[in-house]
Amino acid sequence: MDRMIYTALNAISVLRDAQVTQAQNLANQSVPGYRRDLDNEGGTVFARLFGAETARAFRQETGPAGFSQESGRLNPTGEKMDIAIADAGYFHVQPETGAPALSRRGDLRADAEGTLRNGAGDALLDVNGDPIALPPYRDVVINELGEIHVTPADGAPGERVLAATIATVVPGEDVTLRKSEDGRIRVPDGELPPPDQMARVRQGVLESSNVNAVEEMIGQIELQRQFELGLKLVTSARQIDETGARLLRMPGT
């Protein structure tokens, strides 16, 4: 009977992890450029006792969970400091803490020092790996290559100068990307791929997350049903065990 209970509890643990992932996705569905987390893949293994396999089966994860790299919907905003990558690729960013990372988030704003930061507070990096700081300007234009041209505050009307070039990269198929503990996208145990400026940047557009709220909600309902089924299985196993124990009792005890 304990085999049934252990199997059911292991299944409940797996369902709990899946529910956490879906809750994370739903909580970030409105974050620009967010990439939905995927359930961790795994297989079934059997416990071993004294060098031999037993009947107890468990699910074992095969590695870190990944994320979906599908593009989100591009929404025109008309804001000149809103940018998005039209197809594949990432921006190079520097979080306030931690190593440089990749991001699709393009809701940019300049802080008091002129440093370009996205909505998460990450500084946008240029092709040299330095945070981009803009001088005082009256107008800004960002082209598809990521070049930022500004009209200086004290410049002549129509004058434009190249202030910086946003570092972008389209990682090759052999590059493995994972989300770190802080939620940023990095290369596990390695350096980020260098900028290649192959991504197409669009100005006045924001990319939405690639989370489908309807699919996530339906998945939550299915997981909840499976979770309840697992609890019923544990309850049934207890009832069966108690019934068997009563049958083995001596008469009159």
Per-domain boundaries in the chain: 2-67+211-247, 74-207
Is the whole model's pTM more than 0.75, yes or no?
A: yes
| Residue 132 backbone phi and psi in degrees, to 5 | -85, 125
User: Residue 239 phi/psi, 5° resolution?
Assistant: -65, -40
- In this predicted model, which residue has the larger pLDDT, 56 or 82? 82
The percentage of the chain sitting over the pLDDT mark of 70, rounded to a whole number, equals: 82
Lowest mean pLDDT among 56-60, 120-124, 135-139, 182-186: 56-60
Lowest mean pLDDT among 79-93, 137-151, 230-244: 230-244
**CB neighbour class for 178 (10 Å; exposed up to 12, middle 13-18, buried from 19):** middle
CB burial of residue 181 (10 Å; 0-12, 13-18, 19+): exposed
pLDDT (average), residues 92-107: 94
Confirm if 149 and 143 have CB atoms less than 8 A apart.
yes
- Output the CA torsion sign for 195, 201, 207, 210: negative
- Alpha-carbon distance of 41 to 154, in angstroms, equals 57
Instruction: Tell which wins on pLDDT, 136 or 190.
Output: 136
Least confident range from 33-42, 66-75, 113-122, 200-209: namely 33-42
- Predicted confidence band of residue 23 (pLDDT cuts 50, 70, 90): confident
Distance CA 22, CA 38 (A): 8
Cβ distance 118 to 105 under 8 Å?
A: yes
User: Mean pLDDT score of the chain, rounded to an integer?
Assistant: 85
